[in-house]
Amino acid sequence: MKKKIFSGVQPTGNLHLGNYLGAIKNFVELNNDNDSECIFCVVDLHAITVKQDPKQLKRNIRETAATFLASGIDPDKSIIFNQSSVPSHSEGAWILSCVSRIGWLNRMTQFKEKAGKDKEKASIGLYSYPVLMAADILLYDSTHVPVGEDQKQHLELCRDIAQKFNNDFLSPEFLKVPEPLIKKEFSRIMSLKDGLKKMSKSDPSDLSRINLTDNKDQIINKIKKAKTDPMPMPSEEADLSKRPEAANLLGIYSSLSDQDLKRSINEFKGENFSKFKEKLSELLVNKIEPISKEIEKLLNDESHLDKILIEGSNKASIIASEKIKKIKDLIGF
């Protein structure tokens, strides 16, 4: 039986290498897997849990869709759409929020991190968005969900919600309980300026990340200026525990070249960082520059992008609205 995959990316703009290696590269592999049926969503409803500029949000939605396509996701094989265009997501989130429990949401660590010290000023949407995430997944009978370590807790909540709904309405297995697909090695890419901080678009320094829209010269310059330590390249994996920047750059190299960390270490052990950085820059340019150029090309043809999103939304709506109809029947609407 084919795996049914659902995953989404927020349209935050300026998607970077961390997004690519942590999620999108894996999406492409799943798209090309004949044993998987994939739905990839631009989760714009999640994006408005914090204030957005409307014009920029519209551009970011298109840019995220363009990044999916430029990276190699085929809209003829996978469904690509933006979440707000399928009303069943909002409807499903409300219904599931009536099944969810406040105690479950209170345990979500990501809300505490994103809300910061002044939780009273955070939006209700930011607090309850894991329930919307559950609706996203459960509406499509997803069997597997690619998640990073930081989203694993939200998938556990999704599983709890599905099981409680099934129990409450005496319908075992009506809502499919999804399994996580966690790509453990190299899925968490760190800042180029600090190996202990996650690569992020919110970092004020553009030198901290490789943007998927960066050109060749920008990529080379950023790797040249990436933080390292004064020691030669490590000889063993154990050496990396106290060398976060070396671990991060070797992880990036390994992921881009589809080889394990041990092989990458053996390839460069004892050498100067300058030689390794040249190889890493070359690899990044070969992998990222074509994506950057294709994103630019796609963004110059908005009607083509919008057509793909509309077609994807139509396909997603058929599946999601049918599931919502069955949910309503169960609860007595």
How far is it, in rounded angstroms, from Cα 43 to Cα 134?
A: 12
**Cβ contact 255:283 at 8 Å:** no
**CB proximity list for 17: less than 8 A, separation 6 or greater:** 189, 199, 209, 210, 211, 212, 252, 284, 288
* Residues involved in catalysis: 114, 198, 201
- Strand-pair partners of 80: 40
How far is it, in rounded angstroms, from Cα 205 to Cα 213?
A: 16
Q: Is residue 311 classed exposed, middle or buried when 0-12, 13-18 and 19+ CB atoms within 10 A define those classes?
A: middle
**CB proximity list for 80: less than 8 A, separation 6 or greater:** 40, 41, 42, 65, 68, 69, 73, 308, 309, 312
How far is it, in rounded angstroms, from Cα 52 to Cα 125?
A: 13
> In 10 A of CB 63, how many CB atoms?
23
